[in-house]
Structure 1
């Protein structure tokens, strides 16, 4: 058989074998798993677990933070309350009062001012009011049965009727001297002088040298010039008539406009004593109150330093609590890590726990400090002032302390290997 005789179907090559078509997609690599992120409420809940489980330790640790914050808030609050009361007193009493006194002479005594010193001061343009007092050499006894050598420790001064108006002082009981009584043997006692003499009500009699003098009034404490609290005041004419007073004033009091205080202060010495301005001393009584405010400010700085030390000690206590908490909860850390918790989640849990612990102490301390300020200010008759920046700054300091104190324990907990943590139990 030749090639021509071969059937045609024998020449057709067989088609290649192929797999039947399939509807299933081709296999691909599995997706990469990503750890789930904790929501803020989950972070807070996990961070609070350790606090609820160890309440006694939490209270003791938070107490250290609370003491530091309470100290700082109370110190700032009391300082601000005292300063506000002092500024209110200065506004009420005025800062435009100047006093003029004679300096020391060559023998160590006090130089006398001219009798016309008040009139000369009143001629200065901006001066609104001028008055004076003078030292009187008269020994005071409670009665004539008391020996003369046993004086009551109360000095005598002559005063003009307009003295109270110039000083802003007030009579507590009785009346003040007037144009009639300043000629009579009557006196008005300062509050300390009345206590030393044992006199509580006007009408009593005391002895000035050998003269019976009637007490017609008792002053309230004189804030701007507390020296007057320890004296017995009589009128200038009565002092000259009964006690040999020479009429020379010892202290001149002057009030002027606020804007001209320094200008008046510069010309007072030459005005009062033209022949010897260097022998005259001019002072401003309100400067003593301002100096007290500066002293309180220095003390406040010291107390704030002590509060900061207490806060630092509280932060060390928080750090110690967190380190111990990490050591005690290694099994919990290992279990969480083996169930898929990331290092970041563990770190965030313990850092949140430290912040919550510090925030608890800070909030408690702020409340205690504000309460202490209010109670003390009420007892002193002040207006309680607690600056908002003190509360915010104190609470912010606690959070910073908590973050620093909890950072190392949080890092240490996150570095624990799950197997090592589980085997440690």
Structure 2
């Protein structure tokens, strides 16, 4: 009595074992093919991770520095001459209700050089500005060495250098003297970089009274800084120009320093999209490599395919075998690439003192992309292998 027996199906565990055997038999080719996938995934994960880490650092800076600082600078009139702000500009700004702090700096005509043996024209790119005592409070600046200007010191020939100014002048400690025009000035402090107003890093600052006494300064501020409540920044921004310079507000330029950090975040997002496109191209190239490997594998293993078909393997079993090999090959490259991308992100972020941020969706998306590449790249070779006739396959050389 004859019974119709259904062909046995390979269990998932057996499929994985058969697929892994096929990969182990061609290790060099597998490594090279997986490398293409790994490069693409590593690029995509690293690009996303670095962009998110940089953006997180920018957002942390904004949170730390605040977004409620506004500046008002004197511009030029219709004849091209620089307009001078009123001497009481800071006092007028302080009368605006939501304003918490207001201060000012002013340009001073004093050439800065390291010593009196250096010609006056060699200023090392350092300029002089007069500063009020409450400047650091308003800007959130800090002193790296020495002290800030004091009520007594702002009347004396003393200066506080910005971080870049100190480096350019070769000043490493306080108590040293520099020349401003023909006046010897003592350095009493060196500032840390001021992130919201980096232009002050290249400045030597003296007190308003000292600037008037030693350098012929007229007392008119050049830039007014103010901090208000977060909720009222835009309202203050709308009235700041006419408050600083009533009747001629058109020549006053009002800006928000934190906008520069926000613009950097937007720029980073655009670059991220570009780099993701390059990563996708690398991933596509890796997919072509996987497809090429699988096609060659089918050609080389025709006798193996014919033998399995003769022993009862169905076309579906052959298709699944080669599709599994392709998926394993892609998963190997994708997993390696994800680890490499995360490691590259961590290393670079640590070198820049950023918090490492690797979004889980980038890892999951990368692995999903590799599996999709594996299916697409392995589908044609798998179908081709399943269509080989057992007799033809066994008789092939």
TM over 0.5, shorter chain: yes
Aligned position for 1:170: 142
Cα distance in structure 2, aligned partners of 1:135 and 1:410: 76
Aligned position for 2:303: 331
Aligned match for 2:63, one of 68, 91, 115: 91
Aligned position for 2:358: 386
1:153 CA drift (Å) = 2.0
Aligned match for 1:74, one of 46, 50, 61: 46
1:149 CA drift (Å) = 2.7
Between 209-218 and 34-43, the greater mean CA deviation after superposition: 34-43
1:196 CA drift (Å) = 1.4
Cα distance in structure 1, aligned partners of 2:13 and 2:124: 76
1:351 CA drift (Å) = 0.3
Aligned position for 1:211: 183
Aligned position for 1:231: 203
Aligned position for 1:222: 194
Aligned position for 2:118: 146
* Number of equivalenced pairs: 397
Aligned match for 1:269, one of 218, 235, 241: 241
TM normalised by structure 1 equals 0.92
Deviations 1:358-400 (A, max 9, x none): 0000000001111111111111111111110000000000000
Tell me whether 1:136 sits opposite 2:108 in the alignment.
Answer: yes
1:38 CA drift (Å) = 1.4
TM normalised by structure 2 equals 0.99
1:138 CA drift (Å) = 0.7
Cα distance in structure 2, aligned partners of 1:273 and 1:186: 30
Tell me whether 1:109 sits opposite 2:81 in the alignment.
Answer: yes
Tell me whether 1:354 sits opposite 2:298 in the alignment.
Answer: no
Q: How does 1:193-342 map to 2 (within 5 A)?
A: 193-342=165-314
Cα distance in structure 2, aligned partners of 1:105 and 1:418: 91
- Report the RMSD for the aligned CA atoms in angstroms: 0.9
Cα distance in structure 2, aligned partners of 1:174 and 1:99: 27
Between 100-109 and 390-399, the greater mean CA deviation after superposition: 100-109
Cα distance in structure 2, aligned partners of 1:67 and 1:215: 53
Cα distance in structure 2, aligned partners of 1:406 and 1:262: 58
Could you list the runs of 5+ residues in structure 2 that have no partner in the other structure? none
Aligned position for 1:155: 127
Cα distance in structure 1, aligned partners of 2:128 and 2:267: 33
Cα distance in structure 2, aligned partners of 1:122 and 1:312: 61
Tell me whether 1:366 sits opposite 2:315 in the alignment.
Answer: no
Aligned match for 1:407, one of 375, 379, 394: 379
Cα distance in structure 2, aligned partners of 1:329 and 1:342: 16
Cα distance in structure 1, aligned partners of 2:116 and 2:325: 79
Cα distance in structure 1, aligned partners of 2:69 and 2:97: 15
Deviations 1:31-87 (A, max 9, x none): 222111211111111111110111111111101100110111111111111111111
Tell me whether 1:37 sits opposite 2:18 in the alignment.
Answer: no
1:157 CA drift (Å) = 0.2
Cα distance in structure 1, aligned partners of 2:61 and 2:265: 12
1:103 CA drift (Å) = 1.6
1:111 CA drift (Å) = 1.2
1:249 CA drift (Å) = 0.5
1:112 CA drift (Å) = 1.1
1:107 CA drift (Å) = 3.2
1:106 CA drift (Å) = 2.6
Question: Matched residue of 2:273: which SS?
Answer: helix
Question: Matched residue of 1:324: which SS?
Answer: helix
Could you list the runs of 5+ residues in structure 1 that have no partner in the other structure? 1-27
Between 36-45 and 157-166, the greater mean CA deviation after superposition: 36-45
Moved over 6 A (4+): none
Aligned match for 1:180, one of 149, 152, 155: 152
Deviations 1:249-299 (A, max 9, x none): 000000001010001000111111111121111000000011111111111
Q: Which has the larger radius of gyration?
A: 1
